[in-house]
Homo-oligomer: A and B are copies of this chain.
Amino acid sequence: MANFKGHALPGSFFLIVGLWWSVKFPLKYFHQKGKKSRLSLHYQRLEIIEAAVRTLFSVIGILAEQFVPDGPHLHLYNEKQWVKLMNWQHSTMYLFFAVSGIVDMLTYLVTHIPLGVDRLVMAMSVFAEGFLFYYHVHNRPPLDRHIHSLLLVALFGGSVSVFLEVIFRDNIVLELFRTSLVLLQGTWFWQIGFVLFPPFGTPEWDQQEDTNLMFITMCFCWHYLAALCIVATNYSLVYWFLTRLKRQGGGEIIGIQQLKPDHPDQTALLNDSEEE
């Protein structure tokens, strides 16, 4: 879908995932800190829901790419030529993310699947996206090619980072890094939409102009800084929120006892941070 919507939609998808992760990973980190145990049941349930939602989104993406009015409607080869290969490529990308979501769910639901397989398939999904993009942007004007190829930096970097999580699982730094790269991808998709398909009647960008390329390169760095800021802000908000909960609970001993049966993790956090 080479138009503004076709970039805004996946952009929003990645943004939502990134925003959610920038809340989830700090939450998990603060709850786990100082505890030797595995993830609690609450978190497993959360992970399964997240994976299900990601799978759902991806399936919607596939269906949208296939059944938009000018889509291929599941026809691949017709009258001696390929039908709407762009849409098919996008569908393939979504398909990988759907598979990754399903594997994530299975890893938490089925005990005999080894931990790490979820990360491997996620790394492969991100790699496949980058791989398809790499061959996607041949034969396009310079600015178009450049603005898409910058995405490859985020994608291949993210793929390596997620792959590292196969070995260094539950490393908060790698998880925050991954979060920042997903946010970068989300905002960058919106940027691509604004540059290549100006939505509000603003004049088109000159695709050959060299300074436009220079600006876009720099702009990509700004987007990453913005992504870092979002991660940092949400991380702090989560901490502040948990500390406030703790103080409120700590003020009334009865409060803690009332919390205990419902939120076992949280009181563990409270005790834990008091020990430090």
Tell whether, in the assembled complex, residue A131 and residue B153 are in contact, meaning their CB atoms are under 8 Å apart. yes
Q: Which residues of B contact A153 (CB under 8 A)?
A: 131
Within 8 Å by CB of A221, from B113, B116, B128, B239, lies B128
Q: Which residues of B contact A171 (CB under 8 A)?
A: 116, 166-167
- Provide the bound-state CA to CA distance between A135 and B146, in Å: 10
User: Counting CB contacts under 8 A, is A85 at the interface?
Assistant: yes
Tell whether, in the assembled complex, residue A131 and residue B276 are in contact, meaning their CB atoms are under 8 Å apart. no
Q: Which residues of B contact A235 (CB under 8 A)?
A: 113
- Provide the bound-state CA to CA distance between A96 and B89, in Å: 35
Tell whether, in the assembled complex, residue B217 and residue A114 are in contact, meaning their CB atoms are under 8 Å apart. no
Q: Size of chain A's interface in residues, with CB distance under 8 A?
A: 53
Tell whether, in the assembled complex, residue B213 and residue A135 are in contact, meaning their CB atoms are under 8 Å apart. yes
Name A's interface SS.
Answer: helix
Chain A, range 138-163, C-beta contacts under 8 Å to B = 138-139, 153
Q: Which residues of B contact A85 (CB under 8 A)?
A: 211, 214-215, 218
- What would 13 A/B residue contacts be, using CB atoms closer than 8 Å? A30-B112, A82-B212, A89-B218, A92-B221, A95-B225, A96-B221, A96-B225, A114-B172, A114-B176, A116-B173, A131-B217, A132-B218, A132-B221
Interface residues of A (CB under 8 A from B): 29-30, 81-82, 85, 88-89, 92, 95-96, 99, 111-114, 116-117, 119-121, 124, 128, 131-132, 135, 138-139, 153, 166-168, 171-174, 176-177, 210-215, 217-218, 221-222, 224-225, 228, 235, 239, 276
11 additional contacts (CB under 8 A) given A135-B214, A166-B173: A88-B218, A89-B218, A92-B222, A95-B225, A96-B221, A120-B173, A131-B153, A131-B217, A132-B217, A166-B174, A167-B171
